[in-house]
Amino acid sequence: MANKNAKKQQAQAPEVAADVLRYTKADLLNSKRFRHQRDLITALLDENKTYAIEEAEALIGRFLKGQVN
């Protein structure tokens, strides 16, 4: 019975992509991919967090699409 409950919990748990690479702000600042957006990375990303490439691109994209006052 306990084994069935364990399998149910595993099936319901959200899957976390363990193979997604995460980078620090410094790593992204030094990358060729973001060389033209270093000023945005400096302003938008937190020193104490890590980011997947997609997350960093999404933050930059949201900032660039923001409203102008």
pLDDT in tens, 11-29: 454 455 668 999 999 999 9
pTM of the model: 0.68
Q: How far apart are CA 28 and CA 22, in angstroms?
A: 10
Does the pLDDT of residue 62 top 70, yes or no?
A: yes
CA angle 63, 60, 35 (to 5 degrees): 135
For residues 25-37, average pLDDT: 97
Strand ranges for 1-69 from DSSP E:
23-24, 50-51
Q: How far is CA 17 from CA 14, 20, 51, 52, 66, in A?
A: 10, 6, 13, 11, 29
Residue 46's nearest CA partner among 69, 25, 64, 16 is 25
For residues 23-42, average pLDDT: 97
